[in-house]
Amino acid sequence: MTDADPFDAVDVIISKRDKAELSDAQIDWVVDAYTRGVVAHEQMAALAMAILLNGMTRRETSRWTAAMIASGDRMDFSGLSRPTADKHSTGGVGDKITLPLAPLVAACGVAVPQLSGRGLGHTGGTLDKLESIPGWRADLSYDEMLGQLESVGAVICAAGASLAPADKLLYALRDVTGTVESIPLIASSVMSKKIAEGTGALVLDVKVGSGAFMKDLASAQELARTMVELGTDAGVSTVALVTDMGTPLGQAVGNAVEVQESVEVLAGGGPADVVELTLALAREMLAAVGRPDVDPADRLADGSAMDVWRAMISAQGGDVDAPLPEAREQHVVVAPGSGTLTRLDALSVGVAAWRLGAGRARKEDPVQAGAGVVLHAKPGDQVRAGQPLMTLLSDDSTRFARAEEALEGAYDFSPQADASTQPLVLDRIT
Ligand code: URA
C-alpha cells in the first residue's frame, strides 16, 4: 500500500469476512490494486475465499465486474455494418457448438466475434480443437478481427492479454485456492470478458450435470440469472439457456474428431443433439439482435453456413481441404451387457479423453490433435453385449489403461426398451 491508496487490503478482507457489503470504492480499489501488484496474492486469495463463503449482492457483483472490465481495454464493434452477437458456454464434454454456430449465425447476417480459450482439465478448449486444422492461427490483431468480421462475418480467435487482465490474474489464483465455485466470482469473470469484448447481444449456455461446473439445476439457474443480470445492467441484451451436461454432447470428444463432427453438422448431418443445440442457440442469437424471422435451419440446408465456415477457416490460414490429423493408436471398448443404454457419464468420458492426450493438466502442456473418444451409442440406444460402445484414440497406447479406469462405472444398461432420456434444454432465463 502507498500513501495514495485509500484503503488497506486487510480492512477489505475483514469487511467481507464479517459479512459486510463492500462499497463501490472498496471494490474499485481492491481490483485495481491487485492488478497493480499492490494487493498481494495471499490477500486476494483470502478475499476470494470470504466472497465464496459469504457471497456478494447484485450491486457488489455488478461493480466487481465493472472494475475488472476497467482493468483492461474494451473492444468496439459498433462501426460494423451488421449487428453483433456472441455465445458463451460454461464448458462441457464434447461441447463443440461454437464451431458450427459462429458460421451459421454469420450466414444469417449477424457478425459473430467469438473470443475463446484453450482447455484446462476435462473440458476441451475451442482453440485446441481448431488448431488441429493444418495452418489455422488463433492469434489475430484487433484490426484483423474487425476486417474478418466485416468480410466473413465470423471470427473465432484467442482473447488478447489486454482484455480484463484483472480476471486473468484472479482466475489463475482461484484455480489454486479452491475458490472457483463461487457464483458471483464465476459470473463476474465470464461477464467482464464478454462485456469488454463489446458484443451487442449475448447468449449464454449454462451447463448442468456431471461434466459441468454446476452439478445441480438450482445452482445452474442461479449462475444463469446472475450472468443475465450483469449483462442487462451493462446494456448487453443477454439471455441464458440452461442445458444438460450429464452426458457428452454428440459422439465425438477430443480435438480433430470434434472438428470433423462440426463439419458434418454444417454439411446438413451430424448428431441430433448437436444440431438441436446449435439451432436453439442460433435462434436465440438472432432473436437477441432483432432477426427472429430468419430460420437458421435454412442456412444449414442451403450450404451457406458451410461457405462461411470455409471462408472463416481460410481467413485464419487454415487449409479446409487438408485431412485432419488422426491418432496413431485406437482401442475399442465393448458393451459388457445387452439392453438400453440409460446413462453415459459426461465427466468420466471427459476425463478419459483428457488422459488419452486430448486435454492438458498444466497451461503450458501440448495437446494431441488426434486424441479423444468416439461414442458408438448414446443414452436411449439399444446395445448388445460385445458391440462396440466407444473407440479410444491416442498417439500413445500406454494411455488406454488409465482412460479405461476413468470409464469404470460410467454407464448403465436397462433391460427395458423405453428408458427415458433427459431433455437437452432445461430452462431459459431472461
Ligand atoms: N470460466 C471463466 O472464464 N471464469 C470462471 O470463473 C469460470 C469459468
374/117 Cα distance (integer angstroms)? 23
Structural domain range at position 40: 9-55
Gyration radius from the chain CA atoms: 22
Last residue of a domain, one of 315, 342, 376: 315
Q: Does any domain span residue 430?
A: no
Name the residue with higher pLDDT: 359 or 310. Answer: 310
Residue 2 in domain: no
Per-residue confidence (pLDDT) for residue 353, from 0 to 100: 96
CATH of the domain at 395: 3.90.1170.30
Single-letter code of the amino acid located at 105:
V
| pLDDT tens string 282-337 | 999 999 999 999 999 999 999 999 999 999 999 999 999 999 999 999 999 999 98
Shared domain check, 186 and 47: no
Residues 45 and 176 in one domain: no
419 confidence band (pLDDT: 50, 70, 90): low
Same domain, 134 and 162: yes
Dihedral sign for Cα 85, 117, 256, 393, please: negative
Same structural domain, 290 and 357: no
The band of 145, judged by pLDDT with boundaries at 50, 70 and 90, is very high
Do the beta carbons of residue 363 and residue 407 sit within 8 Å? no
Q: How far apart are CA 396 and CA 330, in angstroms?
A: 9
What is the whole-number distance in angstroms between the Cα of residue 181 and the centre of ligand 1?
9
| Statement to judge: residues 257 and 135 lie in one domain | yes
pLDDT at 361: 75
From 82, 88, 225, 291, active-site residue: 88
Question: What is the CATH number for 206?
Answer: 3.40.1030.10
Chain position carrying cell 481460410: 314
Same domain? For 27 and 93 the reply is: no
Torsion, Cα of 127, 128, 130, 135 (10° steps)? 100
pLDDT digits (tens, 9 = 90+) for 16-65: 999 999 999 999 999 999 999 999 999 999 999 999 999 999 999 999 99
User: pLDDT grade, residue 140 (50/70/90)?
Assistant: very high
Ligand 1 pocket test, pick from 189, 193, 205 with the greatest ligand atom count within 8 Å of Cβ, gives 189
Which range (119-128, 195-204, 385-394) has the least confidence?
119-128
**What pLDDT is attached to residue 2?**
63
pLDDT at res. 120 = 64
Residues 34 and 128 in one domain: no
193 tagged catalytic: yes
Residues 300 and 363 in one domain: no
For 181-207, what is each residue's pLDDT tens digit? 899 999 999 999 999 999 999 999 999
Angstrom distance (rounded) from CA 430 to CA 410: 34
Probe ligand 1: pick from 167, 190, 205, 245, max atoms within 8 Å of CB? Answer: 190
> For residue range 224-280, what is the model confidence (pLDDT) as tens digits?
999 999 999 999 999 999 999 999 999 999 999 999 999 999 999 999 999 999 999
With 70 as the cut, is the pLDDT of residue 394 above it?
yes
Q: Are residues 242 and 275 in the same domain?
A: yes
The pLDDT assigned to 33 comes to 97
In a domain, 322, yes or no: no
Is residue 350 very low, low, confident or very high in pLDDT (cuts 50, 70, 90)?
Answer: very high
Question: What does the alpha-carbon distance between residue 315 and residue 309 come to, in Å, rounded to a whole number?
Answer: 10
Residues 282, 395: one domain?
Answer: no
In a domain, 147, yes or no: yes
Domain assignment present for residue 320? The answer is no
What is the residue type of 49? M
Active site annotation includes 331: no
pLDDT for 118 equals 78
Could you tell me the distance, in angstroms and rounded to a whole number, from the CA of residue 182 to the centre of ligand 1? Answer: 10
Asked if the structure places residue 421 within a domain, the reply is no
Q: How far apart are the first and last CA of the chain?
A: 42
Strand order of the β-sheet with 382-383 is 382-383, 339-344, 411-414
Task: Check residue 121 and give its pLDDT.
Answer: 67
Backbone angles phi, psi at 344, to 5 degrees: -140, 105
Indicate the top mutation candidate among 115, 179, 180 to test ligand 1's pocket, ranked by most ligand atoms within 8 A of CB. 180
Looking at 248, 281, 315, the residue that finishes a domain is: 315
Per the structure, the count of domains in the chain is 3
Q: Distance, CA 198 to ligand 1 centroid (Å)?
A: 18
Q: Has 74 been annotated as catalytic?
A: no
User: For 152-266, where are the alpha helices, taking DSSP H only?
Assistant: 165-175, 183-196, 217-233, 256-266
315, 337, 356 - which closes a domain: 315
- What pLDDT, on the 0 to 100 scale, is given for residue 300? 97
Residue with CA at minimum distance from ligand 1 atom 7: 186
pLDDT at 422: 81
- CA 185 to ligand 1: nearest atom: 6
Residue 428 forms part of a structural domain: no
Q: Is the pLDDT assigned to residue 415 strictly greater than 90?
A: no
Q: Whose CA is nearest to atom 3 of ligand 1?
A: 190
Whether residue 406 is contained in a domain is answered as: yes
Same domain as 340, residue 311: no
Share the mean pLDDT of the chain.
94
Statement to judge: residues 346 and 300 lie in one domain = no
Q: Which of 71, 189, 210, 394 is catalytic?
A: 189
